[in-house]
Amino acid sequence: MSIYMGVFKCRGGISGEMPSNKSVSDAPITQFVNCRILKNHRLQWEDLWVREGKILSPEKLFFDEEGFADHKVDCGNKIIAPGLIDVQINGGYGIDFSQASGDIRRGVAQVAKKILEHGVTSFCPTLVTSPPDIYHKVIPELRVQDGGPEGAGVLGIHLEGPFISEQKRGAHPPKFLRTFKAGGVADLMETYGHLDNVAMVTLAPELANSAAAIRELSGRGIAVSLGHSMADLSQAEEAVQNGAMFITHLFNAMLPFHHRDPGIVGLLTSDRIPPGRMVYYGMIADGIHTHPAALRIAHRAHPAGLVLVTDAVTAMGLPPGQHTLGQQQIDIQGLHAYVAGTTTLSGSIATMDMCVRHFREVSGCTVEAALEAASLHPAQLLDISHRKGTLEYGTDADFVVLDDTLTVRETYIAGQQVWRK
């Protein structure tokens, strides 16, 4: 069945007359009606207008251009929210981004296509701790690209490791961990090869010479995240003052909260964050990595900084059994992913829409807050909220249509339907 429920107007007047529409563009205009759109932090009954892949201002269209809609889509009282953004996803559907396979791009494309059904329109392919030769092979292949019918867009790579703590390595293989021996910047280039297409790097700020690396990365516009770390609060605060702005999977692989030194967790309420700066933090809301009470504590302490991530591994979308994550074997048992032969958690098999629903349920937050944690907040973290993560006029028309249970019904990229339930 065609998505278009009817034609709102035919461009042009009576046969033989010149078109009456004074629109600045001949591109078709689509009007989404009978919907609640997430805008200005609340759901509101309002039509959504799209032209040439962008959200269009109806006032500008009506009064400046005297234009009209070409197509009208009845959304049946559903919710329209910005497309979801996942800044930490290691793979899925049998694909491991940290494996230098024969066709790396095809693997990324396969995951990009499948996550459309979970409302994800943009993501950061994440590489776990690996030897330098893996980075040198994989990083050049994972290029930033726009999304479309072929799959979600790639915003840049998230490099999680290898400059992390031995004690808090989690599922990261210890033999590939590195320190900043050469003073920071040289170590980055020696390990990764180059930083083109890199959006984020997770590191442990207590490592010697990390400050220079943090300054270099943030100076290049790369988000620095603190994680897999033994850092105390003062070390974490110093890292933020040097440019760090994110915390990788809060509570996991870091010192536990202590009342005399809350560690990295203390950044959520620190009074030493530079003026005008925000610290964001990732939460794996899969019901396994973080207890609901801990999730509620974090959200109530710092709601504007919460970023939902899946931390999904190869086995997302696959049956239980043995799979790989980087250089490690992992076991999938039910909804748990473990390093083979241990009880160490190794990423998740949760999907982003599942995380949104679980977060909403256990936190008691509003529908708006749950959706913004997976759209607006990651866009703000990556400094792309002027084009992604909102439905403001002029932004990219990447959005998701959901029912009242927050189940994804349709996914759009650049105003084009790319998936439908």
- pLDDT tens for each residue of 13-62: 333 333 344 556 788 999 999 999 999 999 999 999 999 999 999 887 77
Report the range of poorest mean pLDDT among 232-236, 298-302, 319-323, 400-404. Answer: 319-323
pLDDT category at 258 given cuts 50, 70, 90 is: very high
d(CA 213, CA 300): 32
pLDDT category at 323 given cuts 50, 70, 90 is: confident
Indicate which residue of 70, 232, 311, 398 is catalytic: 311
Percent of the chain with pLDDT over 90: 79
Is the pLDDT assigned to residue 7 strictly greater than 50?
Answer: no
- 311 catalytic per annotation: yes
CATH superfamily ID and name for 83-390: Metal-dependent hydrolases (3.20.20.140)
* Residue of 114, 112, 116 lying closest to 124 (CA atoms): 112
CB atoms near residue 384 (< 10 Å): 18
Is the pLDDT assigned to residue 252 strictly greater than 70?
Answer: yes
* Residue of 308, 302, 339, 305 lying closest to 324 (CA atoms): 339
pLDDT in the model for residue 325: 74
How far, in Å, are 256, 268, 280 from residue 261 at the CA level?
9, 13, 20
Is the pLDDT assigned to residue 64 strictly greater than 80?
Answer: no
Is the pLDDT assigned to residue 265 strictly greater than 50?
Answer: yes
pLDDT category at 6 given cuts 50, 70, 90 is: very low
* Residue of 75, 58, 90 lying closest to 4 (CA atoms): 75
d(CA 258, CA 403): 41
Q: Where are the domain boundaries for CATH 3.20.20.140 in the chain? A: 83-390
| Torsion sign across C-alpha atoms 178, 181, 184, 190 | negative
Residue 160 marked in a binding site: yes
pLDDT tens-digit series, residues 109-148:
999 999 999 999 999 999 999 999 999 999 999 999 999 9
| Higher per-residue pLDDT: 123 or 338 | 123
CB atoms near residue 385 (< 10 Å): 18
pLDDT in the model for residue 9: 36
E strands along 21-119, which residues? 29-39, 42-45, 48-51, 54-56, 71-82, 84-89, 91-92, 95-96
d(CA 147, CA 112): 8
pLDDT in the model for residue 343: 86
Residue 289 marked in a binding site: yes
Report the range of poorest mean pLDDT among 176-180, 218-222, 312-316, 400-404. Answer: 312-316
Residue 253 marked in a binding site: yes
| Higher per-residue pLDDT: 74 or 19 | 74
Residue 252 marked in a binding site: yes
Query: What average pLDDT does the segment 2-11 reach?
Result: 37
pLDDT in the model for residue 25: 72
pLDDT in the model for residue 24: 63
Query: What average pLDDT does the segment 4-17 reach?
Result: 35
Query: What average pLDDT does the segment 64-77 reach?
Result: 86
Query: What average pLDDT does the segment 254-268 reach?
Result: 97
Write out the two tokens for 315. Answer: 């086995």
Is the pLDDT assigned to residue 253 strictly greater than 90?
Answer: yes
Query: What average pLDDT does the segment 367-390 reach?
Result: 98
Compute the mean pLDDT over every residue in the chain, rounded to the nearest whole number: 91
Residue 260 marked in a binding site: yes
Residue 345 marked in a binding site: yes
pLDDT category at 279 given cuts 50, 70, 90 is: very high
pLDDT in the model for residue 11: 37
d(CA 366, CA 380): 19
Q: What single string gives the DSSP state of each residue in 123-135?
A: EEEEEES--HHHH
Is the pLDDT assigned to residue 319 strictly greater than 90?
Answer: no
